[in-house]
Chain A
Amino acid sequence: VFKRFVEIGRVAFVSFGPHAGKLVAIVDVIDQNRALVDGPCSGVRRQAMPFKCMQLTDFVLKFPHSARQKHVRLAWEKENINEKWAATRWAKKIEAREKKAKMTDFDRYKVMKAKKMRNRIIKHAMKKLLKEASKKGKKLQKAQK
């Protein structure tokens, strides 16, 4: 049922708070609600962070609990987490959302035109297929009779 677990080395995405949008690695668990967290390659200092603001990712690093920042950094860079993260759909969706919000009026016009053209092409191809399909259907009917 659950696939991603809170464990030492789990890379998490911070969803809100002062470090919103950054990746951190769970270094140790403090109590039921908080974890000691460190993000040397994403600009997050080693600190306690509540689980609520963390969203677990698929990535797990290998280092012992309460490992020093240096080791967390080594593990992070060895696994190339930053690149892997940028390649995930999750990160891409975030980026697309940001881009959409930054769109200027001119950009919105260009997007509208592009969408219109794309939809026309699709419709055109679809209608062609439908036409062929209906022709085939009619032929079969005739043949049956």
Chain B
Amino acid sequence: LAPQMAGEKKAGDKKAAEAKPAEAKPAEKKGSQKKLRERPKKPKKHHASRNPVLARGIGRYSRSAMYARKAMYKRKYTAPETKAQKKKKEKPRATITKPVGGDKNGGSRVVKVRKMPRYYPTEDVPRKLLSHGKKPFSQHKRKLRASITPGTVLILLTGRHRGKRVVFLKQLGTGLLLVTGPLAINRVPLRRAHQKFVIATSTKVDINGVRIPKHLTDAYFKKKRLRKPKHQEGEIFDTEKEKYEITEQRKSDQKAVDTQILARIKKVPQLRGYLRSTFSLSNGVYPHKLVF
């Protein structure tokens, strides 16, 4: 029995062994097929420079010799022709016909789309030198002082609310700080403040879960100015906005933000009274010696 079993076992093992390499083989084949498929996709390694350097800026071979060495005669690259290129009819329109009013005018005119310049300067404008890194304001890097974090109590130094202590909410896209009194405490509404004209105190209100509406951006706060003087002279100055009116949206936004913040302020003892008070200097008080 034992030798039989041993025999069987061996047979079993052999089969298993056969099965394994059999399995392995098709896998290998697939793998190798994969590799073959992948290889043409992989970019070939670039050859080192075929032009040894004699001295800086001076190579061993001339242009024509290099042409031959690099086998440029073999390499001809053309971009594949797209269907759009084949069409060729994609030239932008040179003229447009526009309707013209009035009777006896012939109804329409043919107008050039790209017109000749209406003015040529007496002297040609000189070519400007290249500059780099000159970005427009919208792409500038905005910095924020490390001492200013959401929930910090700030002291405003300029503007009509100077001396008032105010809660910082977030920094807006232009770098200005979005700030609120809250209104019920010191009559400072949701407002923008400039980082440079603000003292950051070390007192922080926990603003962890407060949701600030996303539509409060710089465009929301920007001052609006009317400019439509149809009449010339006289009545211009009356129609433009003199009185600022608080819109309903501002009131609702103020309420939405303030209710959340007031709840957190009430938790800290004496903080409400602190925010109500104003900052001032007196005799013997020197800002450079004060710890804020």
Contact = CB atoms under 8 A, between A and B. Distances in A.
B155 A113 contact: no
A28 B291 CA distance: 42
Interface in A90-121: 101-106, 109-110, 113
B270 interface: yes
Q: Which of the four size classes fits the interface of chain B?
A: 10 to 19
Contacts of A105: 153, 155, 165, 201-203, 279, 290, 292
Contacts of A110: 270, 274
Nearest to B165: A105
Contacts of B292: 104-105
A102 B290 CA distance: 8
Contact of B273 (A101, A102, A103, A109): A109
B155 to A, nearest CB: 7
Nearest to A101: B291
A92 B63 CA distance: 88
B17 to A, nearest CB: 76
A104 B292 CA distance: 5
Contacts of B279: 105
B32 interface: no
Contacts of B290: 105
A106 B291 contact: no
Given A109-B270, A113-B270, A104 B201 contact: yes
B260 interface: no
Interface in B166-219: 201-203
A31 to B, nearest CB: 39
A105 B281 CA distance: 12
Contacts of A102: 291
A134 to B, nearest CB: 35
